[in-house]
Amino acid sequence: GAVVSQHPSRVICKSGTSVKIECRSLDFQATTMFWYRQFPKQSLMLMATSNEGSKATYEQGVEKDKFLINHASLTLSTLTVTSAHPEDSSFYICSAHGQSYNEQFFGPGTRLTVL
Amino acid sequence: AQSVTQLDSQVPVFEEAPVELRCNYSSSVSVYLFWYVQYPNQGLQLLLKYLSGSTLVKGINGFEAEFNKSQTSFHLRKPSVHISDTAEYFCAVSEPGGSYIPTFGRGTSLIVHP
């Protein structure tokens, strides 16, 4: 099956610092990757969609200058939370879609805590 | 536009009892349907999916779901639950083609009591 990994699984940082989260498709080429945010006891909220080699498309209400997304290769996308604040603390999940699949595959998630 | 309604936010049940988690969807086109399970502090794990064909879909961990087009439902069932089934369950719908971006329901918390 298709596997998606995320690194780190957990990160704690100080307010004002930037944090980078990596999402990798391990055994397939992901033409499109997605980033979701999940608040406690809530569903997943799509933040942005990124296609390899092009700019990400952000959902309404998501600050693109705060959440920088890069999809430099067919197996790697990164989400950088810039100048993080406590309200950015959340569970971030990525997913990936490849051309030969009819579904997305989800990573294990990254728990971000901003102090 | 598509939407998913999970009617129950929380379902408590005793161990070895049967359970049904309800999911209704709305869409103007044909759909793919999914059930995911999420354990605390983990990502989503696919339980089962309906793409086409038989309306009764069997998944992992003894779960199954039935696609009912006339009622626009995709309820998840298990005949006998275990303590380890305690988790959050998400129903999702996507439209064929494109990047298959799913629309998620709000989730149902299954709580299995001993």
3-state helix vs strand vs coil in chain A, percent to 5: 5, 50, 45
For residue A5, give the nearest of A89, A105, A115 by alpha carbon.
A105
Residue in chain B closest to A43 (alpha carbons) equals B106
**Whole-number pLDDT of residue B21:** 98
Q: What percent of chain B has pLDDT over 90?
A: 75
Residue holding tokens 């600050």? A63
Does any CB of chain A come closer than 8 Å to the CB of residue B31? Answer: no
Distance CA A22, CA A32 (A): 14
User: With an 8 Å Cβ cutoff, are A43 and B96 in contact?
Assistant: no
- The answer to whether A34 and A52 are in contact (CB under 8 A) is no
Mean pLDDT of A104-114: 93
Secondary structure element (H or E) that encloses residue A97, with its range: strand A90-97
Across residues B71-77, what is the average pLDDT? 96
Residue A3 has pLDDT above 80, yes or no: yes
Chain B residue at shortest CA distance from A37? B43
Tell whether the model's pLDDT for residue B28 goes beyond 70: yes
Is the CB of B100 inside 8 Å of chain A's CB atoms? yes
pLDDT at site B90: 96
Place A99 in a pLDDT band, splitting at 50, 70 and 90: confident
Q: Indicate whether B98 pLDDT > 70.
A: no
Q: Sorting pLDDT into bands at 50, 70 and 90, what band is B99?
A: low
Please determine, for residue A1, whether its predicted confidence score (pLDDT) is greater than 80. no
CB within 8 Å: B43 and A6: yes
For the residues B56-84, what does the mean pLDDT come to?
A: 95
Structure confidence at residue B93 as a pLDDT band (50, 70, 90): very high
Q: pLDDT tens for residues A25-47?
A: 998 888 899 999 998 888 899 99
Q: Which of B44, B88, B94 to mutate to test the interface with A (most CBs of A within 10 A)?
A: B44
Mean pLDDT of chain B: 92
